[in-house]
Structures are given as C-alpha cells and as structure tokens.
C-alpha cells in the first residue's frame, strides 16, 4: 500500500470491509481530524475470476456465472453477454423477444435503483423507513420476475436468439397494475426523502463532480448523468427494443450527491414509462430463434457489446475462435470506473469522515461487479 502522507496530524483509517455501510471492500482514508485528505480503494475481496471462468465455459454456460456479477441487476448484465454471443455468431432476435428483454431490463433497473435509493437513505443515517419501503416495493417487481421466469433473482432467462418463455396470460395487466402502484409510492419517496430537510443538509453540495472531471475520470451511469452529461447507451447505440421505445435521458445539473440521487429517482420514472409502453404495445410473433446450445463460431471473430446497466455502461469485448467457448472475454465493469471517480473525490472537493458513507453510496457501488 502507498505510504500514508507523513504529517503528524494525518491518520490512516481502514474503513470496511466489515463496516455496515462499506460493502465487501476496504477503503483506506488519510484523515486530518474530520477532513479526508486521500481515499484509497482496496478492491479484490470478492474477486472470483469471472473472465477466466467464461473462457472455460461454453457460450450458453457462461450466462450463469456472468449473471452473478450484479444480483440486483441480472437482466442487464446477462443481456450484455447474450448480445455479444449473438453478434459473434450472427444470430437474429425476433422483435417480440427484444421487447420482452427491454421489459425485463427496465424492471431490473428499477429493482436496482430502489435498492440504491434505500441504501442512500440509510447512509445518511436518518431514514431506515425509506430502506424498508423500497425493500417492500421491490417485492412487486420480484413477484413479476417470479411469474415470468420462475426465479426472483438471477433468472437466466435470456438466451442467444431470444428469451426462454413467452409472457404468461394476464401478465401485461399485472405489469400495468404494478406500475400504477409504484408511481403512487414514488410521490411518497420524494416527500419523505428527496425533499426532506435533513437529507438536503447531508447531500446538497457534497462531493461535487464537475462535468469535465466526470469525463476526465471516466464516470458512467447515474454518476455521469448527475454531472449533467446526457450519455446513455440505450439512446447512443440502441439495443433490444430501445430504438422503438419512448423515453428520456435524465440529467441533473447540480453535480453533487443530491443530483445523483435525483437522477436515480427520475430514471425509475422513465423505466416505469417503458414498462407501461411494453405492456400496452408489445408486438406478437416468435420469442426465440432456435439455437443449439453447442453452437460454435466458424471463424475467429471479435465483437463488442455495450449495455446500459443500472450502474452505468458495461462493455463485453468477446474474442472467439472456432471453438465452443469464447477465447477471451473482457468485461468493462461500470462500478470499477465509478470507484476510480470515488477515489479522486477527496481531491476534488472537501469531504468529511462522516460523509464517506453518503458519498460512496452515491456512486451505487457493487463490488462483485468491480472485482469480477
């Protein structure tokens, strides 16, 4: 580890991985009294070598380990890998399957954002109620997932060529009902949390990340959009059915923790809009192109697939040869990019020791994703 700054007043504190708010990582903090001079992220506590595991699995088997990267957001992560396989093998996806994928991805995004939102409330220390609310409301989505896929988490529902099952009877009506319920709840969240004076005091003007810094440091997802930069893979390079769906890219100009929280809040609204559109306008037809699980590419290829997950852009760079498993899979994880931004935040603005949980939760870290 880098030596601590040698000053008599500077003390190095190890925060995590057993701290209730830190998640499975250790953060080293050089502090002078309450003021944080330097943040050092010590990652790797949950490194499982997913990139290596994928090299030793067939294309279909690889979908299972890669979904373990982010449990709250398995649909988006799984889709990035499945899309890469489809590009490498030249598999076409029917339109209906694309719409079902978009529906699943948006449900997973809301699920993940709700979790992040609850943790953000919890991190300020005043709102255990909001965390319980979001946990309860996620049940609505988990029930829908269970009915559609048979699993509440890690569905393994996407496969190269389409999806495993069609929407069950009456599913669309349930989606619309769920959307209506969640919309009502969101008004409560806004009043209880975002507009709450205590939350404002803790989050307004904290850990400001200017747009030029966000680009220079490679921020992604809500962190980037919270700095006012409208970058979203769903719009920039549409995949699944996003080209046909109507939604906005949410940005906030304030660049602070509050802005990132508001981006997540408003993104949930956009996702609900997409869910409603899919439920009402989903086209008919096939749900999958038949693909053999033992499929192998005919010649070496190299493809890049990018998907906007709840935490930001994930990139799968897949190298294949004439073999039943990929030669190499490089995963560009969104949390790792945002962790670098977090490390630099003490240099960009003044952060106090007590603000560290609030700041780290504003980037919505998921260490299984950054460690892979």
Partner 1 sequence: MSEEAILAQIMEAHSDKIESAKVLQPRCLSVVAKMDGLVEVAESLKTRFGFTMPVACGGVDYLNDQRIQMIYYAHNPEQKIMLTYRVNLPRDGPKMPTLTMVWGAMDFHEREAHEMFGIEFEGHTNMIPFLLPPDWRGGHPLRKDFKGEGATQ
Q: Under the rule (CB under 8 A), what is the footprint of partner 1? A: 1-2, 43-44, 47, 49, 51-52, 87, 215-218, 229, 231, 236-237, 302-304, 306, 313, 315, 317, 319, 327-328, 330, 332-333, 336-337, 339-341, 371-372
The least CB distance from residue 247 to partner 1, in Å, is 17
**Got the DSSP string for 127-179?**
-HHHHHHHHHHHHHHHHHHHHHHS-SS----EETTEESSPPPTTHHHHHHHHH
Q: Which is nearer to partner 1, 56 or 280 (CB)?
A: 56
Q: Which is nearer to partner 1, 43 or 263 (CB)?
A: 43
The least CB distance from residue 199 to partner 1, in Å, is 30
The least CB distance from residue 39 to partner 1, in Å, is 13
Q: Which is nearer to partner 1, 218 or 269 (CB)?
A: 218
The least CB distance from residue 204 to partner 1, in Å, is 27
Q: Are 84 and 319 in contact (CB under 8 A)?
A: no
Q: Are 161 and 289 in contact (CB under 8 A)?
A: yes
Q: Which is nearer to partner 1, 81 or 186 (CB)?
A: 81
CA separation for the pair 159, 47 (Å, rounded): 26
CA separation for the pair 141, 240 (Å, rounded): 20
Which helix (H) or strand (E) covers residue 76, if one does?
Answer: helix 74-89
* Radius of gyration for the chain, computed over Cα atoms and rounded to the nearest angstrom: 21
The least CB distance from residue 365 to partner 1, in Å, is 13
Supply 248's token pair: 């906005």
CA separation for the pair 149, 167 (Å, rounded): 9
Q: Which is nearer to partner 1, 171 or 340 (CB)?
A: 340
The least CB distance from residue 149 to partner 1, in Å, is 30
Q: Which is nearer to partner 1, 7 or 330 (CB)?
A: 330
CA count, 13 A, side-chain hemisphere, 156: 11
CA separation for the pair 306, 304 (Å, rounded): 7
């Amino acid at each position: 580890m880098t030596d601590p700054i040698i000053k008599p007043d500077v003390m190095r504190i190890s925060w995590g991985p057993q701290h209730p708010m830190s998640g499975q990582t250790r953060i080293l903090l050089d502090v002078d009294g309450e003021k944080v001079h330097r943040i050092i992220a010590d990652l790797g506590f949950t490194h499982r070598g997913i990139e290596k595991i994928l090299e030793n699995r067939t294309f279909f088997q690889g979908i299972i380990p890669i979904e373990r990267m982010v449990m709250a957001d398995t649909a988006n992560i799984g889709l990035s890998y499945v899309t890469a396989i489809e590009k490498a093998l030249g598999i076409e996806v029917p339109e209906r399957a694309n719409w079902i994928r978009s529906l699943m991805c948006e449900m997973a995004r809301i699920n993940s954002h709700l979790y992040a939102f609850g943790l953000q409330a919890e991190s300020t220390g005043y709102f255990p109620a909001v965390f319980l609310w979001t946990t309860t409301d996620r049940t609505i989505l988990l029930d829908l997932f269970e009915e559609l896929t048979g699993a509440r988490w890690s569905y393994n529902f996407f496969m190269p060529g389409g999806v495993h099952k069609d929407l069950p009877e009456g599913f669309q009506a349930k989606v619309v009902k769920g959307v209506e319920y969640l919309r009502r709840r969101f008004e409560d969240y806004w009043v209880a949390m975002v507009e709450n004076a205590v939350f404002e005091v803790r989050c307004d003007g904290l850990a400001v990340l200017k747009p030029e810094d966000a680009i220079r440091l490679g921020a992604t997802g809500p962190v980037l959009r919270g700095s006012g930069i409208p970058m979203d893979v769903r719009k920039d390079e549409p995949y699944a059915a996003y080209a046909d769906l109507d939604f906005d890219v949410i940005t906030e100009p304030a660049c602070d923790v509050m802005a990132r929280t508001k981006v997540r809040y408003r993104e949930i609204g956009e996702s609900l809009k997409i869910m409603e559109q899919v439920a009402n306008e989903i086209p008919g037809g096939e749900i999958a192109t038949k693909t053999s699980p033992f499929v192998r590419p005919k010649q070496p290829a190299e493809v890049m697939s990018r998907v906007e997950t709840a935490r930001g852009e994930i990139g799968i760079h897949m190298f294949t040869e004439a073999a039943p498993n990929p030669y190499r899979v490089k995963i560009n994880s969104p949390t790792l990019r945002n962790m670098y931004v977090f490390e630099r935040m003490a240099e960009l603005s003044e952060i106090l020791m007590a603000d560290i949980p609030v700041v780290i939760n504003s980037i919505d870290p998921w260490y299984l994703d950054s460690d892979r």
